[in-house]
Structure formats: structure tokens, C-alpha cells
Amino acid sequence: MFFTRAYYQIKPFLPWHLRMALRRFVAKAKLKRFGDVWPISQSAAPPPPGWPGWPEGKKFALVLTHDVEGQKGLDNCRQLAELEMRLGFQSSFNFIPEGEYSTPRELRDFLTAHGFEVGVHDLRHDGKLYNSHSNFSRCARRINHYLKEWNAVGFRSGLMHHNLEWLQELDVLYDASTFDTDFFEPQPDGVDTIFPFWVPAPDLERGALDAESGTSTKPGYIELPYTLPQDSTLFLLFREKTIETWKKKLDWVADRGGMALVNVHPDYLRFEGQPATARNFPTEYYERFLQYARQRYGASIWQVLPKVVATFARNAFDGEARRRLRTESSVLEPEQTLFVSTSGHREAIDSRDEDSRRPKIDAGSISQPATMTAVKSVLMIGYMEYTGDARVIREAEAGLAGGFEVDVIGLRDAVIPNIKEYRGVRLVNVNQFRYQGSGRFRYVLSYLEFFIRCLFKTTFLCLRKRYVAVHVNNMPDFFVFCALLPKLMGAKVLLDIHDPMAETFASKFKSGKKSFFYKLLLWEERLSAAFADGIITVHDPVKDHILVKHGMRPESIEVIANFADEQLFRVQENYVINGALRMIFHGSVIERYGLSNLMLALSKVRNRDRIFMKIIGAGDFSGRLKEMIASLSLGDIVEFENRCYPLRQIPQQLSTFNLGLVPMEISEITEYILPLKLLEYISMGIPPVTVRNTAIGHYFKEGDCFFYKPEQPESLSTLLDYLVEHPDVLKTHREKTLALRPKFLWSTQKEKYIRYLQKLLCRP
């Protein structure tokens, strides 16, 4: 907020063209980074659980809103309303009460008399409404005055600033200050849903309006996010000359039965006879959009005012249901559609799974030591984006289930940069993105940068909250020293070795065990392990074949197996066997995962017309993979989606495939890898194809998986052709996979982790 406040202090002195040029420069950079989730974010599509659908069997809702920012916009309001009336539409006009213009009563009366809605847009539209809570409360009293005077029930903040908790002080039916996805706003944290959602007040039993303070004490309000890009973004910022982006997003929302809410500013419309400038666009764009919506969807549109949609959404769940959702739901799950929100954060319910709500301790299965009577806090640290790291997510949520509060320090999320909380876990991200290059020196610098940032974050947090444990995820191991102050204050430090760093980096950078680099990393691991109070790792072969040989005592290492979450990776319902192979690979796109040999194998299959391969992921091998797909002419059977999905979106991406590919090049480090994707495929009942290494051989016997020889790509080609020609074999292996599933359930490891954490805290 500091930079936002500073900007509004100097904004009056900056020429409009300079401001817009700067915005375009920043926007183009953001578009390169976030183009895959704007203007469409696939994760915003699912309807909230219990959603009844739109009234009268309508396919989707279309909601039109207009924010009037200046005198020019005010002058255009009547013409805009007449245009919409002529085309058979109705909309809401939001006016600034104490801005540069005065809203005539005659205009408000004209609009309401002709079936339009009047709402309040900020107070002064000066960017200062949210400078402080006390300032917001003072402004809220004035806003409530205008809401009552104008007989309005809707509000939208200027610049789409928002704080969903503070907005409880407004006496409104709905707020419209958020969006599903829009990284070009000053506060770019989208709510990631194309549906309305309920925002309950902290105290649901409070009355409607406090007469003494003038602020609202209603039990909550409906949030209506805009879901189509704003006109200013498309036609002023990006200077688009067509409405194709609007049409594409409208069709996407309509196909998913959502709410298409658009915000068009009368200030930027250029009606006939008005001069063309860089600050406006032809009214024909908006007119063509309305005509397109009517001609394509006709009577299937529920085209009503925002207050009508808000009333419908409010009544979709009665008060008792809302109270139940408020009590039981977890806060903030960005990949899911949101219906209930508290404390300015998002709240979600996964209709597929009762356990997706905030985990609760099972008192019957997990014993609590007598000393643990109060809620205690655990801090987790890792060089990772939390929403995409399956193991860290599972352990953090296990901590919640064990009765702990859990904070996590990680990298800034590239997809959801401002995320603060995720399914009950508080996120304290450093302002740094993951390095994905191949330079050894750059890796070291990136780790050192994170270490320094994390050290300061940990020290600061520790001075404000006492942690009983700090769980540090490698790589690298030396992040344990970020926990120096917590350890001095009595916290237990737990080192979680996902990947042995010496072997991993020696393999990555082609260094032998006699090299100085390898010995330095081995020393780093031993020093870090000596500093830690406890050590856990991902499976037995890593413990027995690597860590113990590095000099760690076997009894000091606990194995918490990296199994898939069976509640998330559920058995695939519609598994198809029809003589065609639909194969999937997801995860890190790096050289040692055998993607080169996979491409060579696919180039040699005979049944090319019955084989399809999809690869989802990112990593430093992405460029080379794209080159191989092109050079081997595999574009017709291989699709490479070069991106990473948040963990909870992955099962949906896997659900239509009938074979999981887990290729690998065998080396000193991959010899001991048990790929999580292998276990996720098994959890979903998708037969896997993989290679045989020490770790996989420890858990799987001959016949449990389809195995091929990693040094012989033709062995994989032969296997795939055989499966195409013998679909009964795939059916048999599907049954074997389902039989294997109970051996690899995260629920067993979850309880083991909680018990280990409790045991660690009881040590002197």
C-alpha cells in the first residue's frame, strides 16, 4: 500500500500520457507472466457447492455496471442508458458522492424510473479510502449516508481497492470491488470465481445498523466480482480494436453457467459527434458486445440488475446454512470457487470432500500429550511456491489437524502473488520468485538471497509469536540456520530432506563424489543435520542408502513417506479403454526425468493415430523439449502445456487420461527417486509406465507397473504399441493399480507425522 499511497500523492503532477505509458510498460511485462490465467483463469470455473443454478433455468447471468468517474462520464449517462434501453438491457450506474461532480437527483430519478439501478462508487475516488482502518470507518459513515439518501444497496471502491472485512461497515446488500482475475489492477489479488459469494460478518448475530456510529452491523453481504475485463484495460491500456476478448470470455463464462459481470465507464465512451482521443473508444464496441450477447444467447441469458443477482445469491443459502458454512469452512483456497469469505480473505468449500474443509484432529486416532493443552504454533520454511508443493502442503495441513497453528515462509507465488492464507495455513512469502535456470552460480545466489530474506522474516516473526517448532524443507539444508533465534528461544528444529543435496547437485552439474563441490555440499548437510533436533525424509531407500552412508545415525531419521493425498487424488470415475492411449506426464520438466528418451520413443511408435501424449509442467528443460517436439514432428500427438498448476487443480488435469508416464534417466540421484506423480497416478487408478530403480523396486514388484528400459527408447515404443493392440492388458493393469492403492495412502503418513511432531516437542 505504500507505493499506492505515494502514487496518489504525485498523480496530479504526472501527465496522463506519461501515466498511461508507464502502465502499458508494466502491463506488457505482466501479460507475459500471467497470460495463461488472464483473461481466463480455469480454476475460477467450478460453481460453489450447493449452487442451485440460475432462476427459470437460465444458462448464465449477465450483469452490466458503469462507474462514473468524472463530469464527462456524468454527461454521457443518459445516452448510455438510452442505448441499453433500445437494445433491451438494464444496468447499474455507480456515482462518486464527493468527487469532482455532483450527481443530480433528476438523473438518479430518471435511471431508477426506467428500470436502472443507482449505486455508490467510493467516496471521493482519490485512492485514499483504505489508507487506514480509522480513515475507512470515517468514510464509511459518509458512504452509508449516501446509500440511504440514494436508496442504494450496492457499492464499489475506486480502483478496485478492497478489504472484505472493512467493507462490513457499509450498509449494503452487495459489494462489487473484486474480480475473478485481473493482474493489471493496483490490488491484483483476484477472488478466482465467476460466481457471487457470501461474505459473513465476524459476528453473525449483530443487528442491521449501529445508530450511534453510523456504520453497518449487518450479518454480511454478497460479493459480486467483475468477470469480464474492464473497458479501460482492453481499449485504453492495450488499445484493442475489436471486442474479441470480451466475446471469448463471455462464451467461456456462459459455457460454465457463471456470472458475466462487466464494468463499462461512461467517461471512456465516445458517442457520435464526440472527438476521438487517446482517452476514449467508440461506443460501437459496447453496442456490438450487447448485440452479440443477445444474438448468440437470446432468452438463455438472465440479464438483471446487480441487486437482483445479490438478492438471489443471498437467498441461495438460508441463514442457518450460512452460519454452518461460516463455522466449518476453511479460509482461502484460491483454486476453488468461493462462496463464503471472512476477515478479508477467501473461504472455500470443496463439494467433493468433507475433509477439504479445515482439517480437524481425530481424537480417537491421534493421542495428544498432556503438555499440549493450548494451541501452539509451528513455522515451516522452504524454497518453494506453497500452492504447488504437495509435500509441504500435506505436512502443513497435518500440523493443523494435529491442533497446531501453522505459518509457512516460501517464495512468492507466480500465479497468485499476494496470497496470504491457504486452507487455514498462514503464508508469509518473501519477495522472490524461483530460479529455474541451469547455472550453478545463479542457483547458489538464489538460495543465498532466500536465506537472507528468510532469516530476517523468521527473526521478525519470532519476536511477535513464539514457535514451538520450525520445520525446514530442503533444498538446501542450510536453511535450518534461519531458525537460529527460534532455537535459542526453545523451538525444536526439524530438517525435512526431500532430496539429498550433495547427490542431486553432483548429478545435475556432472560433478563426481571426489570433487570439492560434492564434499562442500556433504559438509553442509552434516552441519545442518547436527543443528537440527530431528530429521525426516521421504522414503526408506534415501534413508538407508544415502543419509546413513553420509554419517547420520539410523535412529535419528524418521521416514514420512511422500505418498499422494487420497482425498484429493480420488479414483478416476470414467476410466476409458477403447484401443487408444491417452497418456499424461505432469511435474518438473528437467533433463533427468527422461523426457528426451520419451520423445524418441514416441517418434518410433507404429500406432501413431491411436496415441496421444500430454505434458504439463515447467523447468529448465522446457526449451529443449519444445525443440524436440518440433524436430521429431510430434506436434500432432504431443501437447506440451508449459505451466504449473496449483496442487488442487492437478487431479482435474489428469482425469481424462488412461496411462501415466513416469520416465527417468537412471543416475546416482534418480536411482533413489520415488516420483510423487507415480503415486498420484496410482491413487487415481491410472496405470503407470515407469523405469525400475532402487526406490521404485523397494515398493513395487514385477507386474505392479509397466516397466521399460530407460537406456532403450525402443523398449518404450514397443510397450506402447503393445498396449494399443492389446487393450485387455491395460484393463488388467487398471485392476492391479486399484488393488495397490491402499498401500500408498497419505492418511497413514499424516498420523505418523503428527505423532513424530508431538514426540519431538516432548524431548528435553
Q: Are 650 and 680 in contact (CB under 8 A)?
A: yes
What pLDDT shows up at residue 214?
A: 46
What pLDDT shows up at residue 355?
A: 36
pTM of the model: 0.52
What pLDDT shows up at residue 436?
A: 65
Q: Is residue 215 over pLDDT 80? A: no
Q: How many domains does the chain have?
A: 3
Whether residue 367 is contained in a domain is answered as no
What pLDDT shows up at residue 210?
A: 47
CA distance 734 to 682: 9
CA distance 231 to 39: 13
Q: Are 331 and 421 in contact (CB under 8 A)?
A: yes
pLDDT category of residue 508 using cuts at 50, 70 and 90: low
β-bridge partners, 198: 222, 340
Last residue of a domain, one of 514, 531, 560: 560
Domain that holds residue 426: 377-560
- Assess whether 135 and 275 both reside in one domain: yes
For the residues 366-372, what does the mean pLDDT come to?
Answer: 33
- Assess whether 409 and 299 both reside in one domain: no
- Assess whether 217 and 259 both reside in one domain: yes
CA distances (Å), origin 542, targets 66, 480, 554, 558, 562: 60, 20, 11, 11, 12
- Assess whether 146 and 279 both reside in one domain: yes
Assign residue 111 the CATH number of its domain: 3.20.20.370
Q: Is residue 330 over pLDDT 70? A: no
- Assess whether 522 and 640 both reside in one domain: no
What pLDDT shows up at residue 11?
A: 57
CA distances (Å), origin 625, targets 439, 649, 677: 18, 24, 19
Q: Is residue 12 over pLDDT 70? A: no
| CB neighbour list of residue 237: distance below 8 Å, 6 or more residues apart | 20, 23, 24, 27, 184
- Assess whether 179 and 71 both reside in one domain: yes
pLDDT category of residue 241 using cuts at 50, 70 and 90: very high
Q: Is residue 105 over pLDDT 60? A: yes
For the residues 23-34, what does the mean pLDDT come to?
Answer: 77
Higher pLDDT, 763 or 659: 659
CA distance 728 to 739: 17
Q: Is residue 249 over pLDDT 70? A: yes
User: Distance between alpha carbon 176 and the CA centroid of its chain, in Å?
Assistant: 21
pLDDT category of residue 764 using cuts at 50, 70 and 90: low
Higher pLDDT, 635 or 131: 635
Whether residue 370 is contained in a domain is answered as no
pLDDT category of residue 629 using cuts at 50, 70 and 90: very high
Whether residue 341 is contained in a domain is answered as no
Q: Where are the beta strands (DSSP E) in 664-725?
A: 688-690, 706-707
Rg from Cα positions in the chain: 28
What pLDDT shows up at residue 320?
A: 39
Whether residue 592 is contained in a domain is answered as yes
Judging by beta carbons within 10 Å of its beta carbon (0-12, 13-18, 19+), is residue 137 exposed, middle or buried? middle
For the residues 244-253, what does the mean pLDDT come to?
Answer: 96
Q: Are 380 and 473 in contact (CB under 8 A)?
A: yes
Nine-digit cell string for 76: 454521457
pLDDT category of residue 1 using cuts at 50, 70 and 90: very low
Q: Are 344 and 332 in contact (CB under 8 A)?
A: no
Q: What is the DSSP letter of 702?
A: T
Assign residue 390 the CATH number of its domain: 3.40.50.2000
- At residue 473, what are phi and psi to the nearest 5 degrees? -95, 130
Q: Is residue 198 over pLDDT 70? A: yes
Q: Is residue 326 over pLDDT 50? A: no
Q: Is residue 582 over pLDDT 90? A: yes
- Find, among 453, 395, 393, 388, the residue nearest to 416 by Cα: 388
- Assess whether 554 and 617 both reside in one domain: no
Q: Are 181 and 162 in contact (CB under 8 A)?
A: no
- Mean pLDDT, the chain, as a whole number? 85
Q: Is residue 3 over pLDDT 70? A: no
For the residues 563-584, what does the mean pLDDT come to?
Answer: 92
Q: Which of 265-269, 332-336, 542-546, 619-623 bottoms out in mean pLDDT, i.e. has the lowest?
A: 332-336
Q: Which of 150-154, 201-205, 491-495, 590-594 bottoms out in mean pLDDT, i.e. has the lowest?
A: 201-205
For the residues 516-531, what does the mean pLDDT come to?
Answer: 88
- Assess whether 264 and 403 both reside in one domain: no
pLDDT category of residue 450 using cuts at 50, 70 and 90: very high
Nine-digit cell string for 636: 500432432
- Assess whether 552 and 591 both reside in one domain: no
What's the residue count for the chain?
A: 764
- Assess whether 461 and 608 both reside in one domain: no
- At residue 118, what are phi and psi to the nearest 5 degrees? -115, 130
Q: Which of 234-248, 331-345, 737-751 bottoms out in mean pLDDT, i.e. has the lowest?
A: 331-345
- Percent over 70 (pLDDT), the chain: 86
pLDDT, tens only, 690-705: 999 999 999 999 999 9
* Amino acid symbol at 602: L
What pLDDT shows up at residue 14?
A: 64
pLDDT category of residue 323 using cuts at 50, 70 and 90: very low
CA distance 31 to 465: 38
What pLDDT shows up at residue 350?
A: 37
Whether residue 644 is contained in a domain is answered as yes
Q: Which of helix, strand or coil describes residue 466?
A: coil
For the residues 507-522, what does the mean pLDDT come to?
Answer: 77
- At residue 427, what are phi and psi to the nearest 5 degrees? -110, 130
Whether residue 67 is contained in a domain is answered as yes
Whether residue 148 is contained in a domain is answered as yes
Q: Which of 13-17, 388-392, 563-567 bottoms out in mean pLDDT, i.e. has the lowest?
A: 13-17
What pLDDT shows up at residue 503?
A: 80
Torsion angle defined by CA atoms of residues 570, 573, 576 and 581, in that order, rounded to the nearest 10 degrees: -20
Last residue of a domain, one of 306, 321, 336: 321
- Assess whether 549 and 619 both reside in one domain: no
CA distance 71 to 267: 8
pLDDT category of residue 331 using cuts at 50, 70 and 90: very low
Higher pLDDT, 128 or 104: 104
- Assess whether 18 and 114 both reside in one domain: yes
CA distance 472 to 480: 6
Whether residue 368 is contained in a domain is answered as no
